[in-house]
């Protein structure tokens, strides 16, 4: 077949890069993937520590809306690794209170009726005001959120006059869970996009967890599939710069000075890493690349804590508007393979994983200080069951720049997968696609970038 021997160099071994490698090797391309770290997966990476316990780069919840991700997992025979939880969202509060948004197994929008009328916390008037604010979404659907990118979500909420309590207790942890920045900073478009999908698709807000580590149930199987079809994977291989000359990419110079070449180049790097490898001449020559410097990554902190008893029996994701743990889960309940500590059974006891956000002011603090604050927060949410509980182990992962920060007016700077350079393509959640910067967004961006390479190569 024509084009079968065309080569592609994929930069970045996160979910986007690995997905692109899979798509391209399926099309008969010769694929080489470069990853600067010793582990693959990027924001979805996981590894074992010195005790033999799995550590994750963050709390990975699988939204029902990620259809493209589940299509991919079925193709590599990995979908059975997802454990779907009851379709409800539970919020834990300071002092031990909580409220839950339940759903019905009915067509949209009736599936949300329990969340509106019997969540047990918000007054009917508050939920009525919130429901009224959704009228533009109901009428215009996905066409409406992009028109609100000039506002923060807090500004949008104030214009629609639903109360501060709803904003602080419901939407603050939602914004921090999605993009790690609070509602007074995040673009209204992001929250409205997600709300519209949850409103329109009944199962979109359902949550799932993997049976164990992403390395074993997603990243590893994806890499093994492509490797079996001939893809090459080079870890601990850092890129220094793309070599640009005569209107196209001529090669990639590595940090060790080696130059690698291919017919096509696909950058599946986080936005800050992408900006660091683009040559200055290319940024000056093309506004497309210069605009990428306006996108910045958000700092993220992830904490795991093992306790000597079970603090909550909840087998699902949990949200909290109070403190610094907006989204978390007891992996001792949600994730069967994680019911261990230092290689020994840790059954019936809690092993929490927390997203700690906003993280900007916390990044300079020590591990001990951050873990102590997280511990105080969880004891505040569960004052009775945590009484006398002891910490057996804790871990902390700091990522200075994770997903791109979707501040107002930033949507215009998100690039397409196809670039003005004919043999250069982009993938990653920050690129334009139907999902926000997420696992679903990483997969969809890789699908689109791969399709562009296939089209450019004249393949069917």
CA of residue 10 relative to chain centroid, distance: 20
Chain position carrying tokens 């992408």: 274
Task: Measure the CA–CA gap between 229 and 61, rounded to whole angstroms.
Answer: 30
Task: Check: CB of residue 84 under 8 Å from CB of residue 459.
Answer: no
* H, E, C per residue of the chain: CCCCCCEEEEECCEHHHHHHHHHHHHCCCEEEEECCCCCCEHHHCEEECCCCCEEECCCCCEECCCHHHHHHHHHCCCHHHEEECCCEEEEECCCCCEEEEECCCCCCCHHHHHHHHCCCCCCHHHHHHHHHHCHHHHHHHHHCHHHHCCCEHHHHHHHCCCCHHHHHHHHHHHHHHHHCCCCCCCEHHHHHHHHHHHHHCCCCCCEEEECCCHHHHHHHHHHHHHHHCCCEEECCCCEEEEEEECCEEEEEEECCCCEECCCEEEECCCHHHHHHHCCHHHHHHCHHHHHHHHCCECCEEEEEEEECCCCCCCCCCEECCCCCCCEEEEHHHHCHHHCEECCEECCCCCEEEEEECCCCCCCCCCHHHHHHHHHHHHHHHCCCCCCCCCEEEEEEEEECCCCECCCCCCHHHCCCCECCCCCEEECCCCCCCCCCCCHHHHHHHHHHHHHHHHHHCCCC
Question: Closest by alpha carbon to 429, among 453, 412, 413, 446?
Answer: 446
Task: Measure the CA–CA gap between 91 and 99, rounded to whole angstroms.
Answer: 5
Task: Measure the CA–CA gap between 257 and 366, rounded to whole angstroms.
Answer: 36
Provide the pLDDT for residue 157. 93
Question: Closest by alpha carbon to 346, among 355, 336, 356?
Answer: 336
Chain position carrying tokens 């969202």: 89
Task: Measure the CA–CA gap between 314 and 382, rounded to whole angstroms.
Answer: 12
Provide the pLDDT for residue 3. 43
Chain position carrying tokens 């359902």: 206
Task: Measure the CA–CA gap between 161 and 327, rounded to whole angstroms.
Answer: 26
pLDDT in tens, the chain (460 residues): 444 589 999 999 999 999 999 999 999 999 999 999 999 999 999 999 999 999 999 989 999 999 999 999 999 999 999 999 999 999 999 999 999 988 878 777 667 676 777 777 888 888 888 888 888 888 898 899 999 999 999 999 999 888 888 999 999 999 999 999 999 999 999 999 998 888 888 888 999 999 999 999 999 999 999 999 999 999 999 999 999 999 999 999 999 999 999 999 999 999 999 999 999 999 888 789 999 999 999 999 999 999 999 999 999 999 999 999 999 999 999 999 999 999 899 999 999 999 999 999 999 999 999 999 999 999 999 999 999 999 999 999 999 999 999 999 999 999 999 999 999 999 999 999 988 899 999 999 999 999 999 999 986 5
> Which residues 6+ apart lie within 8 Å of 370 measured at CB?
301, 303, 356, 362, 396
Task: Measure the CA–CA gap between 207 and 315, rounded to whole angstroms.
Answer: 11
pTM here is 0.95
Provide the pLDDT for residue 312. 98
Provide the pLDDT for residue 56. 95
The alpha carbons of the chain give a radius of gyration, in whole angstroms, of 22
Provide the pLDDT for residue 460. 57
Sign of the CA dihedral running 324, 327, 332, 335: negative
Measured distance between the N- and C-terminal CA atoms of the chain, rounded to whole angstroms: 10
- For residue 265, list its beta bridge partners: 9, 424
Provide the pLDDT for residue 127. 81
Task: Measure the CA–CA gap between 319 and 299, rounded to whole angstroms.
Answer: 19
Tokens at 306, concatenated: 């093992």
Tokens at 108, concatenated: 């949209």
Beta-carbon count within 10 A of 152 CB: 21
Q: What angle do CA 413, 418, 423 make, to 5 degrees?
A: 130
- For residue 209, list its beta bridge partners: 83
């Amino acid at each position: 077949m024509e084009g079968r021997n065309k080569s592609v160099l994929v930069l970045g071994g996160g979910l986007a890069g690995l997905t692109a490698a899979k798509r391209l090797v399926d099309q008969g391309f010769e694929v080489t993937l470069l990853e600067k770290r010793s582990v693959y997966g990027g924001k979805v990476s996981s590894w074992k520590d010195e005790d033999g316990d799995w550590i994750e780069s963050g709390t990975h919840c699988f939204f029902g809306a990620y259809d493209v991700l589940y299509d991919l997992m079925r193709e590599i025979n990995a979908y059975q690794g997802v454990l779907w939880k009851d379709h409800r969202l539970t919020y834990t509060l300071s002092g031990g209170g909580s409220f839950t948004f339940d759903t019905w197994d009915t067509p949209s929008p009736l599936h949300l009726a329990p969340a509106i009328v019997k969540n047990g916390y918000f007054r009917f008037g508050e939920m009525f005001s919130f429901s009224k604010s959704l009228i533009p979404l109901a009428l215009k659907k996905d066409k409406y959120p992009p028109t609100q990118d000039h506002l923060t979500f807090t500004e949008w909420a104030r214009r629609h006059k639903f109360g501060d309590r709803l904003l602080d207790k419901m939407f603050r942890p939602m914004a921090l869970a999605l993009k790690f920045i609070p509602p007074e900073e995040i673009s209204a478009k992001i929250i409205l996009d997600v709300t519209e999908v949850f409103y329109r698709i009944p199962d979109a807000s359902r949550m799932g967890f993997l049976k164990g580590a992403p390395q074993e149930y997603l990243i590893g199987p994806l890499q093994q599939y492509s490797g079996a079809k001939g893809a090459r994977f080079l870890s601990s291989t850092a890129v220094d710069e793309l070599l640009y000359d005569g209107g196209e990419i001529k090669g990639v110079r590595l940090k060790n000075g080696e130059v690698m070449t291919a017919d096509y180049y696909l950058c599946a790097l986080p936005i800050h890493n992408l900006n660091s490898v683009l040559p200055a001449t290319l940024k000056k020559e093309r506004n497309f690349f210069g605009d990428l410097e306006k996108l910045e990554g958000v700092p993220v902190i992830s904490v795991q804590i093992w306790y000597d008893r079970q603090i909550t029996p909840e087998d699902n994701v949990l949200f909290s508007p109070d403190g610094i743990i907006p989204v978390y889960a007891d992996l001792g309940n949600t994730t069967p393979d994680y019911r261990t500590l230092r290689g020994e059974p840790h059954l019936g006891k809690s092993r929490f994983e927390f997203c700690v956000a906003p993280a900007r002011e916390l990044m300079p603090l020590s591990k001990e200080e951050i873990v102590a604050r997280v511990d105080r927060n969880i004891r505040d949410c569960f004052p009775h069951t945590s009484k006398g509980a002891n910490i057996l182990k804790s871990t902390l992962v700091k990522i200075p720049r994770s997903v791109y920060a979707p501040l107002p007016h930033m949507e215009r700077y998100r690039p397409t997968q196809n670039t003005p350079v004919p043999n250069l393509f982009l993938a990653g959640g920050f690129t334009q696609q139907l999902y926000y910067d997420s696992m679903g967004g990483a997969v969809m961006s890789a699908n689109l970038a791969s399709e562009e390479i296939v089209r450019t190569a004249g393949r069917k």
